[in-house]
Amino acid sequence: MTNETSIKLTLSGSSPSDSLSTGHFLMKLEIRNLGVVEKAEIDLKPLTVFIGRNGEGKTWAAYTLSAILGQQGYRNYLKAYLDGKTQQTYPIIDSALQQLFDEGNAQIDMIEFANDCAEIYINDVARLAPNWMRSFMATERADFKNLQVDFKLEETKLEFLERIKLVSVQREISLGLLNSVKESGETILYFYSAGSKDLNKLPKTAIKQFISQEIFQMLHRSIYDCIHIFPTERTTFITLPFSSFQLREVRIEEPLKERDKSEFERRGTPLLEPVKRFLEMILTIYQKKDREEEIKQNPRLQEYINLADFLEKEILQGKVGFETSELRKELLFQPKESTKLEMPIVSSMVKELAPLVLCLRYLVKPNELLIIDEPEMNLHPAAQVEIAEFLAMLVNAGLHVLITTHSPYIVDHLANLMQAAKHEDPDSIKEMFYLERTDAFISQEKVSVYLFEDGTAKNIISEEGTINWETFGQVSDDVSRIYANLLN
């Protein structure tokens, strides 16, 4: 049994990291045999939008990506690797293990390793995904055995390697018997102990797990440092008294165990993994203090707090916050100075957007991915246009965003925002827009929009930046035609 005393695994907040977090990180992938989706080729960009009719596989595709690219994928893969159930082997891990026992230290060039193995690694994770997708989706009836997801990192290889370089690691187990260190900006990951004899005090399996998790974690989190999921169920669960529930926080380094179940599951309620992740995110926020110390280490985090404040002021027109009494800590909405309301009785828009406010204020960091299922849910058309601008602001602040949507307002206005980004004088046109912010204008290179239909997904952004969303337009035409026929 190991005893962790110090853990640090972060993307550096230095200037190179800042430039990376607003770059055009692109990852190509292909999904096959996912429910109704027979084959879909997708480019994940800083802002990726899935549209289409109900039941065409948009949400399943988004959730499947989170199952592979999120910490669920890492934890399950690490366990499978340690159990000898992965297709790929990594001789460098075995070599490092042997070197540790022979010399008391070992080193791995992570740039060289990532260059050779990053794509192999993430595709091996994807290959194992069918093994846990039923559990992930909380279903006994859906069949994922033929699911295939293939990733291609070639076009983003240089940026990915730079992310690896910027990772810093400082970690030890068993009171310093075994340590790992990597400085931000350096390429070498070091493992060392007080001596090879001391390593005999640790089980060999624990040492292999330590080495493997450091390497796999670095690869995994250099794609997306963390994934925050906002399922459609968020508007219900944000009203729960979280202080009365004990949802276990699963450490990102731990292999997932069958007994790691939420309070809801222990009460007999099966939950989608994205819903569980959402619940754990909100509980973490309930337990979290302010971010002053984090901001000292990474000043860019203040930008996300400012964005949370902006969302409250300009769209919610009120404040979301906690109030602590002797008995409990409560999430409240304050529409004006003299009024505070409990979450169950606030407007549906507040329930919809409060989790995003909290996530921005307490959790998010650059290079993280937000997956938002139907961000337009419960919003007036004007607010839908505003949220389209706000999502672009998040991307320009260094976050990645993937949404599913049925909103023609969001899709139409996204085309406007891409055109505005091409304008020679953005300040001269900002008053035309709802939020009047030039940082809501988004480069077309950062955006992909896919229409899911007929078992596939097709890119519907033209080279000029127009978006062909016939899935919405046909319905509008039908409604107009019915009305015209009634008049006749």
Apex 122 CA angle, 121 and 125, nearest 5: 90
Domain boundaries, the chain: 1-226+369-488
What ranges in 269-365 are assigned the alpha helix state H?
Answer: 273-287, 292-297, 301-311, 348-362
- Mean pLDDT, residues 405-427: 96
Residues 372, 418: contact at Cβ < 8 Å? no
Percent of the chain predicted with pLDDT > 70: 87
Residues with Cβ < 8 Å from 441, sequence gap 6 or more? Answer: 392, 417, 418, 420, 421, 423, 426
- Mean pLDDT, residues 151-164: 91
| H or E element at residue 182 | strand 178-182
Q: Tell me the sheet residues that pair with 450.
A: 50, 459
**Band of residue 468 on the pLDDT scale cut at 50, 70, 90:** confident
pLDDT tens sequence across 267-285: 556 789 999 999 999 989 9
The rounded mean pLDDT for the chain is 87
**Band of residue 183 on the pLDDT scale cut at 50, 70, 90:** very high
**Band of residue 261 on the pLDDT scale cut at 50, 70, 90:** low
Query: Is a pLDDT exceeding 80 seen at residue 363?
Result: yes
- Rounded to the nearest 10 degrees, the angle between the axes of helix 348-362 and helix 381-396 is 10
Query: Is a pLDDT exceeding 90 seen at residue 455?
Result: yes
- Mean pLDDT, residues 17-31: 65
Percent of the chain predicted with pLDDT > 90: 71
- 452-455 long-range Cβ contacts below 8 angstroms, 24+ apart: 452/37, 452/40, 452/50, 452/51, 452/52, 452/53, 452/56, 452/57, 452/58, 452/61, 453/52, 453/53, 453/56, 455/36, 455/37, 455/38, 455/39
DSSP states along 299-319: TTHHHHHHHHHHHIIIII-SE
Handedness of CA 45, 374, 412, 471 (dihedral sign): positive
pLDDT tens sequence across 303-353: 999 999 999 999 999 999 998 877 778 999 999 999 999 999 999 999 999
Q: What is the pLDDT of residue 268?
A: 55
Residue of 220, 174, 273 lying closest to 78 (CA atoms): 220
165-174, 178-187, 451-460: the lowest-pLDDT one? 165-174
Measure CA 354 to chain center: 18
The DSSP 8-state label assigned to residue 186 in this structure reads -
The whole-model pTM stands at 0.89
Handedness of CA 385, 281, 322, 239 (dihedral sign): positive
CA 488 to CA 483: how far, in whole Å? 9
**Strands ordered across the beta sheet of 400-405:** 227-230, 369-373, 400-405, 47-52, 447-453, 456-459
Q: What is the pLDDT of residue 11?
A: 36
pLDDT tens sequence across 33-59: 999 999 999 999 999 999 999 999 999
Q: What is the pLDDT of residue 266?
A: 55
Q: What is the pLDDT of residue 269?
A: 60
CA 221 to CA 368: how far, in whole Å? 9
CA 382 to CA 409: how far, in whole Å? 8
Query: Is a pLDDT exceeding 60 seen at residue 253?
Result: no
| H or E element at residue 341 | strand 339-342
- Mean pLDDT, residues 209-219: 95
Task: Count Cβ atoms below 10 Å from residue 335 Cβ, excluding itself.
Answer: 15
- Mean pLDDT, residues 434-446: 97
pLDDT tens sequence across 69-85: 999 999 999 999 999 99
